[in-house]
Structure 1
Amino acid sequence: MRKSEKYEMALAAEKALDNATQKYQEVIAELKESDEYKESNLAIAVNDSIRNLSRKVEAYLEGRISMDKLLDEFVFEYEIIEGELEFEKQESAKIKRLAKRLLSSYQDFIGKVGGSKKLKILEKIERQSFEKKSKGKAYLFWFVGLFGILGLHRFYLGKTGTGIGWLLSGGVLGLGALYDLFALSQMVEEQNMYNELRAAKLKQLKGR
């Protein structure tokens, strides 16, 4: 991709981030009016991500950072939001939809501007998650992880956010670990389906 084309893509990203800022403010205002708003890590991550990338895109347009640096920032923010989206189970549906749209737009930008080099980074991050998960292994990790308390089964399923949460909270005081014993089979099936969809999306990006 020529430098002029990258510059045009950065301009488009700047506009998209401006729209995302406006949409975020609208969503927060709606939630506050209906008394549904509760500040969460995901909402904060979305806001911080938009603000950070807006500054980085501006820096690129002004010639203060390279496109490689800008792409690294997009990959970093992608990982942050994805992790928080996985961890925040009680988040507002509107915030979740906004976060998912951001992830999609970040992937598109990385795919179009970064080409195979940056997509390989995403592949490396997600390769383990794309592998079909085994129910037997999941239960084994639950067992050897002190009956789910260490969250090893969640790390195995690629649920890093909740895995860390389980590790730090003792499997949410043991109740979450017990719940996982009965829900683990369905969790494996859902994760395999989700991984297949993400693999298809990445394959689509690589084909552009």
Structure 2
Amino acid sequence: LDYARFRQICDDVGAYLMADMAHVAGIVAAGLIPSPFEWADIVTTTTHKTLRGPRAGVIFFRKGVRSTKANGDKVLYDLEERINQAVFPSLQGGPHNNAVAGIATAFKQAKSAEFKAYQTQVLKNAKVLCDGLISRGYQVATGGTDVHLVLVDVRKAGLTGAKAEYILEEVGIACNKNTVPGDKSALNPSGIRLGTPALTTRGLAEQDI
């Protein structure tokens, strides 16, 4: 994603830039794809998925000076209180200390060389999966993948996303139905989404995909 371009657009209209990296946070942490942190005012992420932590979420936000007016007066960010109030008491109650400890452990692992090697393998496996599907006549919605996910259009196989999801689950392959370009309903999509993080965690490499 071209975060610098998003930043320029937001600056032109006086908007905040919020980036959600829930799916790719682990790959960002490993330094394998661009990070939104240099450009975004707010960054949100889950802590499971590619970060491999407990099911939770994290909100990062900027503090301090946002901009300077023509007369030299500084405009400060006003995000902290608004976000904190929205989380608690508006949406969330008491913290779960076991989950907090799990998040801390996941973040510590994300700083390790082993984690970068793991994410590198995740991307290699995803490319093999993607190329294999294309070689067998399946249409990948984006023409390839740069991350851990492959979005497959199953219409040419005479399937809906829901039917493909059901058939694959019956043979022990977990996936989920997903919209693809051209779909008119998110309730009856024409694609499925496949990913490689779990397979890679279990030790699978390119030859196993």
TM category, shorter: under 0.3
Q: Normalized against structure 1, the TM-score is what? A: 0.24
Report which of the two has the higher share of strand. 2
Report which of the two has the higher share of helix. 1
Q: Normalized against structure 2, the TM-score is what? A: 0.24
